[in-house]
Amino acid sequence: MTTFFVDQSKIFTGHLTDQRDVNVNAHLEDSLWSIRIYEKNETFGIEPAWNLLKPSENPRNDTLIAYRSSDFSNNTGNCGTDKLVSPIYFDEINLPSYTGLHGRTKRHNSKNTCLIYIVADFSFFENRCKRHHLTCSALMISLVHHVDAIFRKSKFQDSSFTIHTGIGIQIGMLVLYTAFTYSADTVYPHFNAKGISWTAYTKLFSFSYFMSYIREKYCLCHLLTSHGMSNRILGLAYGNSICSSPRRGNTLESCGLSSDTDELFGPLPSVQLNLVMTHGHNFGSGHDPHNKQCSRPENQGGNYIMWERAVSGKSPNNLLFSPCSLRNIGRKLETSTCLISRKLFSTFCGNGIVDRGEECDSGAIGIVNADNCCSKYC
């Protein structure tokens, strides 16, 4: 395994000065911007043309594409998680309906963060990231930040009507596979092996099998892939599984995966790379039931995050958990013991500042060994 340093100076988050509820995530892919703007009634994207277009589809060799979520068809991909849930999980999503959250707010708890182990397989590294380490890490960090922002602003209600606020996720380990992994085992092939006819279920099972062998315990493990799954499945996760320990058979259930490739239509635009639903499943929420509280028509804000099909991001509710999901996740938080205090990483190699323990730091050019005096190890 080779360690590389992440240039966090190329990753940005923020909001509009006159509309603080309009959130922006952005990062640089090589020298080009990739930006996602989340408004109440629309999501906008700007990203390098090579992410979505083949050379034959881009005769003018344009460098950037700008679009709205509403520009795309509602014929979105699927989530395949229903087949991976336990009886406890079904009990939770079949709770009696209710109209809202009414309870006491829990006192501030510093242990509010789910530390995740996030992996990009070689298909994602090659196809989405064009074999560029810094582009890939910046994209992955930006995607996780979007999930974290939605979780942190949500109010989860447990069975005692206590409201849990400030719950979120944070990257504990980021891994890129820069080549296929040789696997002679035909029974348990490695999830990064070449030439395997993966389904979403076999890919996730393989990932959860190999994640059971990592030494450190993480709240969640998540795999990003560019493998187009049958039945247009874009995401899959074990339900109700955060903080799980390896079970008999050596699999770790606190795992999920997301694909950036629709089996029918090819690569997805960045605004549709949505990891929130799979993390919602891990945290204890099933798909939203078909009722008035948790399934809304477009004129009432549209469907929520945990709708059974991937939401587009063009309706207000698309970026919110439904009342059903808030309660399901709240109940899981009652028994989740692996959350930690949010970690602060204020110093790092590549920020352009000579921090304690560094001899030099030339920022991004040092990270790619383009500086004559300062290496990527500062």
- Amino acid at position 138, single letter: A
Helices in 131-271 by DSSP H: which ranges?
133-152, 200-211
Query: What mean pLDDT is reported for the chain?
Result: 83
pLDDT of 88: 31
Please state, in angstroms and rounded to a whole number, the distance separating the CA atoms of residues 156 and 327. Answer: 6
> Residue 226 corresponds to which tokens in the numbers above?
């560019």
pLDDT of 82: 58
pLDDT band, very low/low/confident/very high, at 347 (cuts 50, 70, 90): low
Please state, in angstroms and rounded to a whole number, the distance separating the CA atoms of residues 190 and 211. Answer: 11
Please state, in angstroms and rounded to a whole number, the distance separating the CA atoms of residues 171 and 82. Answer: 26
Angle (nearest 5°) at CA 221 between 76 and 294: 45
Q: Is 166 left (phi over 0), alpha (psi -120 to 50) or beta?
A: left
Please state, in angstroms and rounded to a whole number, the distance separating the CA atoms of residues 357 and 377. Answer: 11
Helix%, strand%, coil% for the chain, nearest 5: 25, 25, 50
Please state, in angstroms and rounded to a whole number, the distance separating the CA atoms of residues 366 and 5. Answer: 10
75-341: what fold? Collagenase (Catalytic Domain) (3.40.390)
pLDDT band, very low/low/confident/very high, at 284 (cuts 50, 70, 90): very high
pLDDT of 1: 52
Give the residue-averaged pLDDT of 69-78. 67
Give the residue-averaged pLDDT of 59-77. 78
pLDDT higher than threshold 50 for residue 98: no
* Domain range summary for the chain, segments of one domain joined by +: 75-341, 348-378
Q: What percent of the chain has pLDDT over 70?
A: 81
Least confident segment among 52-66, 207-221, 328-342, 347-361: 347-361
Give the residue-averaged pLDDT of 163-173. 94
pLDDT higher than threshold 90 for residue 91: no
pLDDT higher than threshold 60 for residue 364: no
Please tell me what DSSP assigns to residue 342.
Answer: P
Between 41 and 276, whose confidence is greater?
276
What's the distance, Cα to Cα, between the start and end of the chain in Å? Answer: 19
